[in-house]
Amino acid sequence: MATTEIPARDVAAARKPAPSRRARTSNRHYARVGWGFSSPALVVIGAFTIFPIIFAVVLSFENVNVTAAGFSLQGATVGNYHDMVSSGLWRHALWFTTIYTVVTVAVELALGTIFALVLERLSGGRGIMMALLLIPWSLITVISAELWSYIYNPTYGILSEIWHAVTGGSAPNVLGYPLDATIALMFADVWKTTPFVAIIVLAGLVMIPTEMFEAAEVDGASGWKTFWRVTVPLLRPTLGIAVLFRVLQAFGLFDLPYVLTGGGPGTSTQSLAMLGYNTMFTNIDFGPGAAVAVSTAVIVLILCLVFLRAFKQQVGKETISA
């Protein structure tokens, strides 16, 4: 083997016109090694993500019967999707998840950018601030949900106390009303995720060459104008990545409402993922549950493709294929 080995860079060069026989053999040898090295990982990924996704699509078109002995498929149907689309629960969950995603991502992006601008101007202690920002990011969502439910508690929550001190009245039961509960969920999300956005934006911000700002200053541009005309356009790829990750993550929303509101009051804060989970494990309806799950995945996939397209056009293909 050692006799035929040549470095991979030369191998890549040799793939261009008229490779020698020796290069071709070793090229094939390296390709085999490559597949050998990557196949264990690809097999695990395939078995536990791609195969289940395909199987979920199958389940969503089946009458699935689950008994103590196991499960059986009892005939193809489009009934699961028909019932889903005509169900008020699904439409409300879709609406709630969409509104939740749009509002939280917009707020987190604006607030995260402000955080990043502040930290970028900081003359010292940026390391400590970065460390601080990582704490909410690494927090278990279930824990932050319990924490906020304690803060929002109408009897002994600190929010009631602050409300009482400021307005003199007693605070409403925040989690008892659909709109209030939605805002409460969004606030908890903003608290946990804004630091993540701030870190990404800050990384993009420090990459902008100083000369850009100096030039704007020489031209006499105001701070506001510099921000919109210089900073934002140069940050756009970074902001694009942050939005992509956040939107896709927010659309799979589950942990926070499951613990903080239980989807309530009623089903007003039930996300698509929660509806899917409840259909499967509370109603033991795996066909319809799979349909809800697949509908969520399809929406995420469409969003992903739209983003990839927009992103490709913006910064060129090499950014993705690099």
Residue numbers 88-127 binding another protein by CB under 8 A: 115, 118-123, 125, 127
Among 61, 90, 152, 286, binds another protein (CB under 8 A): 286
Q: Where are the alpha helices (DSSP H) in 78-177?
A: 79-86, 88-121, 126-138, 141-152, 158-167
Q: How far apart are CA 184 and CA 269, in angstroms?
A: 11
Contacts of 216 (CB under 8 A, 6+ apart): 225, 226, 229, 230
Among 174, 186, 242, 243, binds another protein (CB under 8 A): 242
Q: What token pair was written down for 105?
A: 């991502």
Q: Of 75-83, 85-93, 140-148, 174-182, which part binds another protein (CB under 8 A)?
A: 140-148
Interaction residues for another protein, span 155-184 (CB under 8 A):
155-158, 160-161, 164
Q: Does 245 contact another protein by CB under 8 A? A: yes
Q: C-alpha distances in angstroms, 118 versus 121, 225, 235?
A: 5, 17, 15
Among 78, 183, 206, 306, binds another protein (CB under 8 A): 206
Burial of residue 264, with CB atoms counted within 10 A of its CB: 0-12 exposed, 13-18 middle, 19 or more buried: middle
Q: What angle do CA 243, 255, 282 make, to 5 degrees?
A: 130
Q: Which is nearer to another protein, 54 or 78 (CB)?
A: 54
* SS3 label, residue 120: helix
Q: Does 76 contact another protein by CB under 8 A? A: no
Q: Of 79-87, 88-96, 173-181, 244-252, which part binds another protein (CB under 8 A)?
A: 244-252
CB 204, min distance to another protein, A:
5
Helix-helix angle 79-86:88-121, to 10 degrees: 70
Q: Which is nearer to another protein, 181 or 241 (CB)?
A: 241
Among 203, 215, 302, 310, binds another protein (CB under 8 A): 203
Among 3, 18, 70, 168, binds another protein (CB under 8 A): 70
Q: What token pair was written down for 166?
A: 């400021």
Among 236, 259, 264, 265, binds another protein (CB under 8 A): 259
Q: How far apart are CA 201 and CA 197, in angstroms?
A: 6
Three-state SS for 249-279 is HHHCCCHHHHHHCCCCCCCCCCCHHHHHHHH
Interaction residues for another protein, span 39-58 (CB under 8 A):
40-42, 44-45, 47-53, 55-56
Q: Does 191 contact another protein by CB under 8 A? A: yes
Total residues at interface with another protein (CB under 8 A): 122
Among 9, 21, 86, 179, binds another protein (CB under 8 A): 9
Q: Which is nearer to another protein, 129 or 181 (CB)?
A: 129
Q: Which residue has the tokens 């601008």?
A: 117
Q: Which is nearer to another protein, 47 or 183 (CB)?
A: 47
Q: Does 310 contact another protein by CB under 8 A? A: no
CB 216, min distance to another protein, A:
11
Q: Of 2-10, 76-84, 85-93, 98-106, which part binds another protein (CB under 8 A)?
A: 2-10
Q: How far apart are CA 173 and CA 261, in angstroms?
A: 12
Among 86, 210, 282, 313, binds another protein (CB under 8 A): 210
Q: How far apart are CA 145 and CA 133, in angstroms?
A: 18
